Structure 1
Amino acid sequence: MKYVIGTGIEVTDYRRTQEALEDLNQRIILLHETAHRLEEMTKEEDVYQLTVHAAEEILGFPLCTLDIYEEDKLVPKAMANGVPPGASQPVPLSEETLATKTYLTGKAYVLGRPDDDPSARPTRSEFRSVISAPIGKFGVFQVASEKENAFSEQDVRLIELLLGHTMQAISRIRLQNELREQARRDPLTGVYNRRYFNEVVEQELIRSRRYEHPIGFLMIDVDNFKQINDRFGHQMGDRVLQEVANLLVAQVRESDIVVRYGGDEFLVMLIETDGRADVVKARIQEAVKERNETGESFPFPITLSIGTAHWDPEKRESIEQVLARADKWMYASKGAHRGTG
């Protein structure tokens, strides 16, 4: 009789072990499928959402959050459906929490009870167990449970397997974005280059027609630039171009586009504007005047000639015609005001 009972227990244990192994194998297969999907993604936001979805649906964690490092803070980017509203808030790295500790040390932590680590500071009192794992240098992923000692070593390994793919996806997307941004930028001044302008202007024309907003353009030339190069050298000329680029960026909105159009010419595209080009022109000229009086000392004043024009979505005018008009007024400004207006 004992033999029969013992055999029954052994068979039951064997079945349980087999079922656990099959479950683990199935979850690993699904995680690999998730990894392939992560490899195809082009937006970080999609990576965040898929990571949380995989943790929730494949690994069975209804309480999980994903935070990304931004400007000395860990900022929530995605959370499972089971996470209560307001349970996850931005946390400065200067605060001592389990999330910041995880990010700064680059180590995963598993807490079976809230008092295992005084720095845990659960966001809600009902959270009893926590896994806190780093996503490389990018952020932190946390899983919580309302039960004590809810997580196993296997849970941690599966999370780290998932986060490894998440980290690779974020790294790839950021590198691609950085390379794309570098291709759009003028290497000397840091503003956009002419190639990028040619790409984006058609998109802006479509938006302008749809919303019936005109686009303003400023064509800008650095006065006496050839003489500056000839007399003071190309390094001084480069400094002047960098100074002008910085000044232009500071005087327009973030949504506007500053372009090094060629040589010592710059182009500013004012998005969704109506008669604002002349206002911006006056502001730039005032900033140049103030910079000459109080800014870094050059052995000469910097002056700009600026021509303005608007593209009106109601008129049948090409972008080439509008830029030609701005260019014409720029040279008229140069001749009439000797670079002062």
Structure 2
Amino acid sequence: MDINADIKGLASRIQKAVATYPIPEVFHEISRELKEIFRADRLCLVLIREDKHSAIDYFVYTTHGNSFLPVGSVFSLEGSITGEILKTRNPVIVEDTTEGRYSTDSLLLKEDIRSRLGLPLFYGGEVIGALCMGSCMVGNFSAEHVAVWMKISPFISVVAENARLIQRLKDSSEELTKEINERKRMEEELKALNESLEQRVARRTAELAESEEKFRKISASAQDAIIMLDNEERVSYWNEAAEKMFNCSKEEAVGENLHKLIIPDRFCGRHLKGFKIFQNTGQGPIIGKTIEVMALRKGGTEFPIELSLSGVQIKGKWNAIGIVRDITERKGAEEVLRRTVEERNDSIKEMKHLMDFSTLMREETRKDELIEHMAQVLKNIFDPDILAVLMLDKEKNVLDVALRDPPIPVDELIRAETILDPSLCRVMRTGHEHIVRDINRDPSCSCLLYKIERGGYVCFPIIAGGATAGVVLMIKKREDHWGSEERLRLVSTYVGMAAAALHRVQLMDITRRAAVTDALTGVYNRRFFDEMLEKQLALARRHNEPLGLLIADLDRFKDFNDTYGHLAGDRLLQQVARILKNSIRSSDVLTRYGGEEFAIIMPATDITAILEKAEKIRQGVESTNFDDIVPGRSLKITISIGAASFPEHGTEYTDLVSAADKALYKAKRGGRNRVEKP
């Protein structure tokens, strides 16, 4: 089954779908593509749920009507192909369904399905789902299908993980909505309760004004404290509820000055001032109102009360009647409600930040911009004094400090040994975060050179595609800044989302490079040459500069292939490509023009310099002993080169290429192993 072209095409189409459509439509496209590749009679894409005990059929392909159906049905992993994959992390092939295994895969349990195949879907080293398919033929699936899946699955895993993240955000949003509605209901009930209590106080105040006898009967059984003051602000009545509330008996209270008895010292001045007005007028700033104040129990303990005051004339003098309620429990409930609402608002804000960050990461296509955006968000949310992002350079196996904020010198931040050998960094080596909450108590790593007198720091790995691609370092010179597990969890979430986006960008870069790179030699291909030559000609015209073109052809390469075989010929082409690459400037463009031909585009280079460079290349190839192409043989090869220059030999693409071709033909006719110009 030759599907390399299909796989490359699939990668491109998946990227296009991710950038264009919502996740359900992306899965629709993926399912359609997988059906074409595997030729299955029935196919479903399954995502494992967070509980690890159940899964959801995301999309199903069925031959009946040739349709794709969004299912969304949940089934148990116990006894299923997907459950076996989660347990073993390996593919599952059922050659004949009459065995009766995996009975819970209802979507594949059809009378016409005779063989089944389950393939794992990995993300970040974790099994997040499976591709399950069925065939009407016994033994239809084999290890070859598994090999195909191993090539395809990396392109699908990022999309699947995004689907799981979106589902999590949706579930969290629904739970948060339920909680908000519940809080609103509690607030309404509390409001109704307060209104009911106020109505009760108003009724009792009116009843007390009607008759002192009635007042005494009511107050004796009242749950609220009822206190009466004479015109000299002495306590004249103190009911049983007041005794319990203030821990003070009627005998101790009656005749005493109320302000000295139950009012904290810091409020006495204000109360005395208001009572002097009341003595003469029956009016005052709190008469006829219900207020919340602090009161004193016997022994000096303060507690919150709700106080309703009214005035009544007895024998021509104004007396005050107070209804007092202990609102300690209500205040506690209000505080709980306040904290709950505050936490809800924080959760909503956090959720919005995460969704905005997810969108930002999903839309970014450049690695440097992605790192810059991630660092800016981390800086805004977690307020570190120093933030640094170190990325692994895989080719050189060194750490590259991609970002520092503020831009302190690298040699003052990280040890040079760690930069040159990333394995010395525990986070890079293990893929686990390193948390130093207090620099004076917790053990710190030897990688960090920057001196911290107090506070701490965190290092979080950037895991992209299951491998540690870098580290995020944040330093805060304040104690307990990193003490919150919730804060650390949030940092991990942001870095994880950025890492997933980075992996997606890396996959896109791999796909883009594959489209313009020659698979054998690793240099640019003919397609890239055509595009680049047109662009360089346009730049040369705009800046009025020369442009050089070399077309080189290995001499008697066909004879070499016939003598030593095509594999030896391939190794020779690879080594010659390396010689050419090491012989040119970084601004020059080396491409495989076709077969054993190479082309080199040389910007801002006149014909004299072009010929000099071509001669050095010819001499370099001629002088090289190719010792490791054929075992036990040291081989030689020569090269012929045709050189042409813009505008001297042509001002358009076709003219310049034709001139270089003619020069190459001239070199071949002249005896090979030569450099010629038209």
Pair 1:134-2:457 in alignment: no
> 1:74 maps to what in 2?
399
CA distance in 2, matches of 1:4, 1:96: 65
Distance 1:199 1:42 in 2: 22
Amino acid in the other structure paired with 2:492: E
Structure 2 equivalent of residue 253 of structure 1: 585
For residue 15 of structure 1, what is the amino acid of its counterpart?
Answer: R
> Secondary structure of the residue that 1:213 maps to in structure 2?
coil
Structure 1 stretch 32-41 or stretch 127-136: which is displaced more?
A: 127-136
CA distance in 2, matches of 1:91, 1:20: 44
Tell me the equivalent position of 2:508.
176
Q: 309, 312, 315: which one pairs with 2:644? A: 309
Change in 2 beyond 3 A, CA 1:172/1:90 = farther
Q: TM-score, normalised by structure 2?
A: 0.46
1:43, 1:173 within 8 Å by CA — same for their partners in 2?
A: yes
Q: 2: CA distance between counterparts of 1:168 and 1:241?
A: 37
Residue type at the aligned position of 2:359: H
Is the contact between residue 65 and residue 88 of structure 1 (CA under 8 Å) also seen in structure 2? no
Q: Which residue of 2 aligns with 1:154?
A: 486
Structure label with greater radius of gyration: 2
Find the counterpart in structure 2 of residue 320 from structure 1: 654
* 2:327 partner SS: helix
Q: Secondary structure at the match of 2:663?
A: helix
Q: Is 1:54 aligned with 2:381?
A: no
User: Which is worse superposed, 168-177 or 124-133?
Assistant: 124-133
Matched, 1:277 2:610: yes
Q: After superposition, what is the alpha-carbon deviation per residue over 1:228-247, rounded to whole angstroms, capped at 9, x for unaligned?
A: 22333322322332232222
| CA positional deviation for 1:293 | 8.7
Q: From the superposition, tell whether residues 94 and 209 of structure 1 become closer, same or farther in structure 2 (CA, over 3 Å).
A: closer
What secondary structure is seen at the aligned counterpart in 1 of 2:545? coil
Which among 171, 189, 192 is matched to residue 524 of structure 2?
192
**Structure 1, residues 37-58: CA drift from partner, whole Å, max 9, x if none?**
1111110111111111111224
Q: Percent identity?
A: 27
Do structure 1's residue 239 and structure 2's residue 576 form an aligned pair? no
Aligned equivalents of 1:338 and 1:95: distance in 2?
46
Contact 2:413 2:449 in 1 (8 A): no
1:119 aligns with 2:442: no
C-alpha separation in 1, matches of 2:594 and 2:544: 30
130-139 vs 295-304, greater mean Cα deviation: 295-304
Structure 1: tracts of 5 or more residues without a match? none
* In 1: Cα distance, 2:524 partner to 2:475 partner: 45
Query: Equivalents in 1 of 2:573, 2:539: separation in Å?
Result: 31
Greater strand share, structure number: 2
1:106 aligned partner: 431
CA contact (8 A) 1:27 1:59 kept: no
Partner of 1:163: 495
What displacement does 1:138 show? 1.3
CA contact (8 A) 2:627 2:635 kept: no
Say if 1:111 and 1:149, in contact at 8 Å, map to a contact too: no
* Deviations 1:185-206, CA, capped at 9 Å, x for gaps: 1112222110111122222223
CA contact (8 A) 1:74 1:91 kept: no
* Distance (whole Å) between structure 1 residues aligned to residue 379 and residue 599 of structure 2: 49
Task: Answer whether contact 1:96 1:119 (CA < 8 A) is retained.
Answer: no
Kept in 2, the 8 Å contact 1:113–1:148? The answer is yes
Alignment partners' CA distance in 2, 1:290 and 1:325: 28
Aligned partner of 1:265: which letter? E
AA matched with 2:450: T
Q: Structure 1 residues 20 and 91, CA, compared in 2 at 3 Å: closer, same or farther?
A: farther
The residue type paired with residue 461 of structure 2 is: P
User: What letter is aligned with 2:502?
Assistant: I
Change (3 A) 1:90 1:73: farther
Separation (CA, whole Å) in 1 of partners of 2:329 and 2:385: 38
Contact between 2:399 and 2:419, CA under 8 Å: does it hold in 1? no
1:35 to 358, 361, 377: 358
1:26 aligns with 2:349: yes
Aligned equivalents of 2:518 and 2:636: distance in 1?
24
Deviations 1:153-174 (A, max 9, x none): 0111111111111101111111
Query: Gaps (5+ residues) in structure 2?
Result: 1-294, 296-302, 304-325
Q: Cα offset for 1:265?
A: 1.4
Structure-1-length-normalised TM-score: 0.88
Given residue 280 of structure 1, which amino acid in structure 2 is its aligned partner? K
**How far apart, in 2, do the equivalents of 1:282 and 1:95 lie?**
38
**Paired residues, number:** 338
